Amino acid sequence: MTMATNLQEAAYLTYDQIAILFPDATALQAALDDFVTAADPVLPDDIPNNHPVGNWLIPLATLRLLITPSGPNANCPQLFFDQMVDGVSKMCWAGRRAQLAGAATGITGAQATALLAAWNTAFGT
């Protein structure tokens, strides 16, 4: 797997990195769980500038609950894969744009670095 050096690169690499895990529902759910869990505290909801990036956590957290990794109903259809790629890549793009906007109207460099670290931990290693 490949490590991203910035959020733009993470957005570009998301499809390929998640495709490595598909169709293993357990691996996909674990990676998504790691990403959401690590990214959530980086983007506190009480700061409005975080919303364009942090709001992507809502559909990703919901998707995480829909993936059934084991048992008789083990389930990770193509639709979930597509939604996971879409949500993670769009969150990375939103993070990159917010980083470029700067802390006054976007997110801080430290937040962007932490979001990138969350991506690399979940999908880049």
State residue 9's pLDDT score: 98
110: which residues sit within 8 A by CB, 6+ positions away?
none
**pLDDT per residue rounded down to tens, the chain (125 residues):** 699 999 999 999 999 999 998 878 888 889 999 999 999 999 999 999 999 999 999 999 999 888 877 655 566 778 888 999 999 999 999 999 999 999 999 999 999 999 999 999 999 97
Q: Which of 8, 25, 32, 36 is nearest to 85 (CA)?
A: 32
- The verdict on pTM exceeding 0.75 is yes
Q: Rounded to whole angstroms, how far apart are CA atoms 118 and 112? A: 10
Per the domain annotation, does 12 fall within a domain? Answer: yes
Q: d(Cα 35, Cα 7) in Å, to the nearest integer?
A: 14
Give the 3-state secondary structure of residue 42.
Answer: helix
Count the domains in the chain: 1
Does residue 2 lie in a domain region?
A: no
